[in-house]
Chain A
């Protein structure tokens, strides 16, 4: 049922942005930002359930849930940066889009440094 809502919002914002393209070009960007936000809000409920299930599995399985939290952080950064990059690309500003992409990648790498160091430690321990 939710997919119909998402497709509906997408089509309505598509039609509105096509109409507005002749009169006012800059309003197309506002429409794409707002429709992106609405669609992400629509699928937040399901996202919440997935995240809670992941955290409960991590706690049950005994592995310290620190890594799961890091993974969640990385997916959060990925979602937000992809949201901004696609809007900038839509508006034709590829330079800004690539800068946001670069920033997102740097943040993700900086967050995953503890994971990498832990991985190397376990490898050296094995050998």
Chain B
């Protein structure tokens, strides 16, 4: 639960963007779409685990 999560997401975002450019230049648009989807899936799994942690801790604290 600290700052390196932000850097991880930023790194994945920039990596996917660069990969997209390279693949589009190389003419493989379908693989570019694949990398975008892979990036979205990875970042979503990170974000969802973080959000569930936040919601459970808020629930236990306010005994919602």
A residues apposed to B, CB below 8 Å:
9, 12-13, 16, 19-20, 23-24, 26-27, 30-31, 33-35, 37-38, 40-41, 44, 47-48, 51, 69, 72-73, 75-77, 79-80
Q: Is the CB of B57 within 8 A of A27?
A: no
Residues of A within 8 A of B61 (CB): 44, 47-48, 51, 76
Given contacts A37-B53, A69-B63, 7 further A-B contacts (CB under 8 A): A9-B3, A12-B6, A33-B47, A33-B50, A34-B9, A34-B46, A72-B63
Is B22 interfacial (CB 8 A cutoff)?
no
Q: Is the CB of B55 within 8 A of A80?
A: yes
Set A20, A30, A69, A76: member contacting B59, Cβ < 8 A: A76
Is B17 interfacial (CB 8 A cutoff)?
yes
Is B34 interfacial (CB 8 A cutoff)?
no
Q: Is the CB of B57 within 8 A of A44?
A: yes
A-B contact count (CB 8 A): 84
Residues of B within 8 A of A31 (CB): 6, 9-10
Q: How large is the interface on B (under 10, 10 to 19, 20 to 34, 35 or more residues)?
A: 20 to 34
Q: Considering only CB atoms, which chain A residue lies closest to B2 in the complex?
A: A38
B43, chain A: closest CB distance, angstroms: 5
B56, chain A: closest CB distance, angstroms: 12
Set B13, B44, B58, B63: member contacting A23, Cβ < 8 A: B13
If A24-B13, A72-B63, A77-B64 touch, whether A38 touches B6 (CB-CB below 8 Å) is yes
**Could you jot down 25 A-B contacts, CB within 8 Å?**
A9-B3, A12-B3, A13-B6, A16-B7, A16-B10, A20-B13, A24-B16, A27-B9, A30-B9, A31-B10, A34-B46, A37-B51, A37-B54, A38-B2, A38-B6, A40-B54, A44-B57, A51-B61, A69-B63, A72-B62, A72-B63, A73-B62, A76-B59, A77-B64, A80-B58
